[in-house]
C-alpha cells in the first residue's frame, strides 16, 4: 500500500505521464492524430516547466506559512503606554471647536475648563455648533461626598460643591446667550467614572477622548486614550453607549 502511495505522488505521476507520452510517440499514436514531433517536444518541455514552477511556488507557500506561524508566536508589540497617554498630551479643545459640529462633554466639574473656554463655546454655539454638558449635581450631597473621598483635596466636600455650583452657573450663562437647543445641560446624580469629550459622534470622522479619573491622584496624573470611529468601531460604539446612558440618566436643568 505504501509503495502504491509513493508511486502516485505528484512528482512520480509527472514522470509516469512523461513516460506514457514518450511511449505513445514512439509507436506513432500522436502522429496519427496530426500532432508533430516538435509539438510533442514542446508539450513535454511545458510540463517540466510547469512542474518546476509548482515546486517553487510550493516553497514560497511553505515560507509564507512559517513566517505566519512565527508572527503568531511573537508577543504583541504595542505597549499599553502607547495607548494610555499622560494628561499633557490631551488634545487641544480649540481643535474640537474648529472642526466639530456636535461636541459632548461629561465630567465631574468643569470650572477651570469653562473659565478658559466659555467665550469660545458661546461663539461656537451662536455659529450653529451644538453642545452637551453633563456634570455632577451640586445639590446631591451623597454623590459629592462619594467623589470627594477619592480626591487629594483638603476640605474636599465644600470645595467640590463650590466647583460644581460655579460650573453650573457658567453653563447656564452660556446656554442663555446661545440659540435655543444649541447648548444642553444635564446633572448627574451619580459619580462619573471617566471624563468624556466626544466630537461628531454619529459621523464617520467621530472621535472621543476618554480620561480616567483614578483614585486620589492629581489632575495631572490622569491618563487618557483616544478612540476613532473609523479605526475602532466596536470600542467607539461601546463608549458612545456609555455616554448616552449617562446622558439619559442625567437630570435636565
Q: For the segment 82-134, what is each residue's pLDDT rounded down to a tens digit?
A: 888 988 888 889 999 998 999 999 999 999 999 999 999 999 999 999 999 99
Q: Enter the pTM of the model.
A: 0.69
- Torsions phi, psi for 225 (to 5 deg): -140, 160
- Determine the topology of domain 81-252 in CATH: Endonuclease; Chain A (3.30.870)
Exposure of 164 in the CB half-sphere (CA atoms within 13 A): 27
Beta strands at 102-106 and 85-86: parallel, antiparallel or unpaired: unpaired
Domain extent listing, the chain: 2-73, 81-252
In which residue are the cell numbers 509564507 written? 64
Alpha-carbon distance 250 to 253, whole Å? 9
Exposure of 12 in the CB half-sphere (CA atoms within 13 A): 7
Alpha-carbon distance 134 to 188, whole Å? 7
Q: For the segment 14-70, what is each residue's pLDDT rounded down to a tens digit?
A: 566 666 666 666 666 666 666 666 666 666 666 666 666 656 556 556 666 777 776
Amino acid at each position: 500500500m505504501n509503495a502504491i502511495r509513493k508511486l502516485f505522488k505528484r512528482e512520480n505521476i509527472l514522470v509516469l505521464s512523461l513516460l506514457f507520452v514518450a511511449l505513445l510517440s514512439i509507436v506513432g499514436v500522436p502522429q496519427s492524430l496530426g500532432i508533430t514531433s516538435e509539438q510533442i517536444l514542446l508539450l513535454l518541455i511545458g510540463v517540466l516547466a510547469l512542474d518546476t514552477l509548482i515546486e517553487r511556488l510550493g516553497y514560497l507557500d511553505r515560507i509564507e506559512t512559517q513566517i505566519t506561524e512565527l508572527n503568531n508566536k511573537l508577543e504583541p508589540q504595542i505597549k499599553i503606554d502607547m495607548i494610555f497617554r499622560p494628561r499633557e498630551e490631551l488634545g487641544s479643545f480649540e481643535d474640537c471647536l474648529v472642526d466639530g459640529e456636535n461636541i459632548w462633554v461629561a465630567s465631574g466639574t468643569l470650572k477651570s475648563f469653562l473659565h478658559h473656554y466659555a467665550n469660545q463655546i458661546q461663539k461656537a454655539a451662536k455659529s450653529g455648533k451644538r453642545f452637551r454638558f453633563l456634570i455632577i449635581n451640586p445639590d446631591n450631597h451623597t454623590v459629592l461626598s462619594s467623589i470627594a473621598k477619592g480626591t487629594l483635596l483638603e476640605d474636599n466636600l465644600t470645595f467640590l460643591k463650590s466647583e460644581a455650583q460655579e460650573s453650573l452657573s457658567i453653563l447656564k450663562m452660556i446656554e442663555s446667550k446661545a440659540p435655543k437647543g444649541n447648548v444642553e445641560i444635564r446633572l448627574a446624580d451619580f459619580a462619573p467614572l471617566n471624563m468624556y469629550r466626544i466630537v461628531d459622534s454619529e459621523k464617520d470622522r467621530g472621535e472621543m477622548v476618554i480620561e480616567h479619573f483614578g483614585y486620589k491622584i492629581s489632575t495631572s496624573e490622569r491618563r487618557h486614550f483616544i478612540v476613532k470611529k473609523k479605526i475602532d468601531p466596536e470600542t467607539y460604539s461601546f463608549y458612545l453607549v456609555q455616554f448616552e446612558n449617562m446622558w439619559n440618566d442625567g437630570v435636565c436643568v
